[in-house]
Amino acid sequence: MSLFNVRKQLTFYGAYHSNPINVFIHVICVPIIQWSAWSMVSNVSTRGLLPTVHYDINRYLVFDLNFSTVHALISIIFYLLLEPTAAFLYAPQGAFMLLSATAVAQNFPELFKYVLGAHIVSWILQFIGHGAAEKRAPALFDNLLQALFLAPFFVHLEILFHFFNYNQQLQQHLKNDVGVEIARIRKLEGDKKRAGKK
């Protein structure tokens, strides 16, 4: 099934994130979007939907069973099915992001406007990256699943590939597959433009 095929998922993502400037913007902005979204959603009431589970590790790290936690758990399970080793490497980062995002929401409510601002600015920068550098609409318009769950993991894999030469065989396959997919997309876009001129 292609949903759990890391190569197919990364090929689709890579076709929309091949420009180095756009990739850099995403490496910075996607974790900010993830963290700020978890922070903003962590105070949404789950009364009657989830059991009350709360643990203060300290003032800056808080575990709370909430919608952000559910999203994080679904995400890490999905990542484990896609690429287990990379998912295990991501888990500490994801846990730290979730715990700190929850702590900020619960213990520092005066920071909400900054969290919201960081979220909005990060989205704007990503759209600029797609429009100015990639010259293509972001993948979220074609694949909402990637926007909601997979983008943080793909950024994590991008870092592993670039800085740690992770899974060279997968890297090479992706480089080839992404090149083919970009050529296919450009041909389709060219065909549409030519059809529109007739």
Q: How far apart (Å, rounded) are the C-alpha atoms in residues 21 and 14?
A: 13
Contacts of 2 (CB under 8 A, 6+ apart): 8, 9
pLDDT at residue 118 greater than cutoff 90: yes
State how far the alpha carbon of 67 is from the alpha carbons of 73, 86, 146, 165, in Å: 10, 24, 18, 34
What tokens appear for 138 in the block? 């972001």
109: amino acid identity, one letter: P
Instruction: Write the pLDDT tens digit of every residue in 143-197.
Output: 777 767 888 999 999 999 999 999 999 999 999 999 998 898 888 878 877 887 7
Instruction: Write the pLDDT tens digit of every residue in 17-62.
Output: 889 999 999 999 999 999 999 999 999 989 889 999 999 999 999 9
Q: Assess contact for 35 and 97: CB atoms under 8 A.
A: yes
Instruction: Write the pLDDT tens digit of every residue in 69-85.
Output: 999 999 999 999 999 99
Q: How far apart (Å, rounded) are the C-alpha atoms in residues 24 and 29?
A: 9
Matching residue, tokens 């300290």: 58
State how far the alpha carbon of 77 is from the alpha carbons of 4, 9, 15, 46, 90, in Å: 11, 15, 24, 21, 12
Identify the pLDDT of residue 185.
83
Nearest to 127 by CA among 39, 40, 16, 35: 16
For the CA atoms of the chain, what is the radius of gyration? 19
Strands annotated E in the chain: 54-58, 61-64
